[in-house]
Chain A
């Protein structure tokens, strides 16, 4: 089984990525990078990462979230985070990235924030 599974949904012009598994050095980080690059290539620039089922993230995974965020920003898009587990919240607090990312607990609130 892949380290990270990503399922894609569309809500208007917002692409929701339901992620499950691990975002860690190697395969997991690469899967996220590849998906974000493809979406940007398709002109999909409003992206919501649903991390509710991501059980594990390491420093490479955090780096990949940051790279995704900057890549989307560069294309004048917007990448936001949904359903952070306590573990991921802790990592974003340690790295002071909670101030960088827009984070939501509710999908409807996250979606309306794009308008």
Chain B
């Protein structure tokens, strides 16, 4: 039987990226999502957790990355929260602009938007960044 909601709290290290992706895939598979959706969810979770660990919590292992996965009537809903300083997503340069094409970083948000049906970023009321993503069924 599939669960409706799952919560995960991970430390701020790169290994957490793999762990989060594994748990997200397991939850989404149990919730009946197809392989295309699983691939998209895997990619988006990896990117968002990598951002939270590296750019949000700055690899400070005393700070957690908190995730929720939820199987709702809308689809597969994911939240990822870090405890960093936060940022304004509209200030992130578009990596597909010709002037940014050869930059080494800055494509994670583009991938999250490309692979999920909805993705939004906000500053959490109690600090840190909150990312909400949806993959429709």
Contact = CB atoms under 8 A, between A and B. Distances in A.
Name the residue in A67, A96, A97 with the highest tally of chain B Cβ atoms < 10 Å from its Cβ: A96
Q: Is the interface of A mostly helix, strand, loop or mixed?
A: helix
A40 to B, nearest CB: 16
A63 B110 contact: no
Interface stretch (B82-90, B98-106, B123-131): B98-106
Contact of A63 (B17, B39, B105, B114): B105
Name the residue in A24, A60, A67, A100 with the highest tally of chain B Cβ atoms < 10 Å from its Cβ: A60
Contacts, number: 51
A105 B96 CA distance: 24
Interface in B64-121: 95-96, 101-108, 110-111, 114
B43 interface: yes
Contact of A58 (B50, B96, B102, B104): B50
Contacts of B101: 66, 95-97, 100
A94 B110 contact: yes
A1 B45 CA distance: 23
Interface residues of B, number: 21
A19 interface: no
A61 B111 CA distance: 12
Given A25-B14, A94-B114, A66 B50 contact: no
Interface residues of A, number: 20
28 contacts: A24-B17, A24-B46, A25-B46, A25-B54, A26-B14, A26-B17, A58-B43, A58-B46, A59-B47, A59-B50, A59-B105, A59-B110, A60-B50, A63-B104, A63-B106, A63-B107, A64-B104, A66-B102, A66-B103, A66-B104, A67-B104, A69-B102, A70-B102, A87-B39, A94-B111, A95-B95, A96-B101, A100-B102
Interface in B13-68: 14, 17, 39, 43, 46-47, 50, 54
B104 A95 contact: no
